[in-house]
Structure 1
Amino acid sequence: MSFLHTAWTRTRPNLLLVLPILLLAGALVAGGLTWRAQTTNREIAALEANQDRPVTTAAASQLILARVLQLARRDATEEMEPLVVALESRDVPLLLARARYALGNARLRRALDLIERSQLDPAGPLIVLARQEYRRALQARPEFWDAKFNLDVAARLIRDFPEVDRQIGDELKAEPKKIWTDIPGQPRGAP
Structure 2
Amino acid sequence: MRRAPTILFTGLPVLLVLAVLATAVWARHLAADNRAITGLKANRDLAVAPGAAPAVVLARVEFLIRQDRLTEAQPLVEALDGRADPRIRTDAHYNLANAWLRRGLDLITEGKIDAAGPFVVLARQEYRRALTLAPDDWDAKFNLDVASRLIRDFPAFERTVGDTGQVDRKRLWTDIPGTPRGGP
Task: Give a deviation string over 1:45-103, Cα, whole Å, max 9, x none.
Answer: 11111111111111111111111111111221111112111110114110000000111
Which residue does the alignment assign to 1:142?
135
Query: Structure 1 180/86 Cα, relative in aligned 2: closer, same or farther at 3 Å?
Result: closer
Identity %: 48
- Mapped partners of 1:138, 1:179: distance in 2: 24
Q: Is the 8 A contact 1:84 1:96 kept in 2?
A: yes
Which residue does the alignment assign to 1:40?
33
Query: Structure 1 163/51 Cα, relative in aligned 2: closer, same or farther at 3 Å?
Result: same
- The answer to which structure has the higher helix fraction is 2
Which residue does the alignment assign to 2:165?
none
Instruction: Using the TM superposition, give the Cα deviation of residue 163 of structure 1 relative to its aligned residue in structure 2, in angstroms.
Output: 1.4
Could you say which structure has the larger radius of gyration?
A: 1
Of the candidates 114, 117, 137, which is equivalent to residue 107 of structure 2? Answer: 114
- Mapped partners of 2:141, 2:182: distance in 1: 35
- Mapped partners of 1:68, 1:18: distance in 2: 46
| Residue 132 (structure 1) aligned with residue 125 (structure 2) | yes
Structure 2 counterpart of 1:125, which letter? Answer: P
Task: Give a deviation string over 1:128-167, Cα, whole Å, max 9, x none.
Answer: 1100100100111112221111111101111112316xxx
Which residue does the alignment assign to 1:55?
48
- Mapped partners of 1:84, 1:179: distance in 2: 33
Which residue does the alignment assign to 1:79?
72
Q: Is the 8 A contact 1:43 1:63 kept in 2?
A: yes
Query: Structure 1 79/94 Cα, relative in aligned 2: closer, same or farther at 3 Å?
Result: same
Q: Is the 8 A contact 2:54 2:84 kept in 1?
A: no
- Mapped partners of 2:75, 2:153: distance in 1: 32
Which residue does the alignment assign to 1:152?
145
Which residue does the alignment assign to 2:17?
24
CA RMSD of aligned residues (A): 2.5
Which residue does the alignment assign to 1:90?
83
Instruction: Using the TM superposition, give the Cα deviation of residue 110 of structure 1 relative to its aligned residue in structure 2, in angstroms.
Output: 1.2
Structure 2 counterpart of 1:56, which letter? Answer: A
- Mapped partners of 1:82, 1:57: distance in 2: 8
Q: Is the 8 A contact 2:130 2:140 kept in 1?
A: yes
Q: Is the 8 A contact 1:72 1:105 kept in 2?
A: no
TM-score after normalising by structure 1: 0.80
2:155 alignment partner, SS class: coil
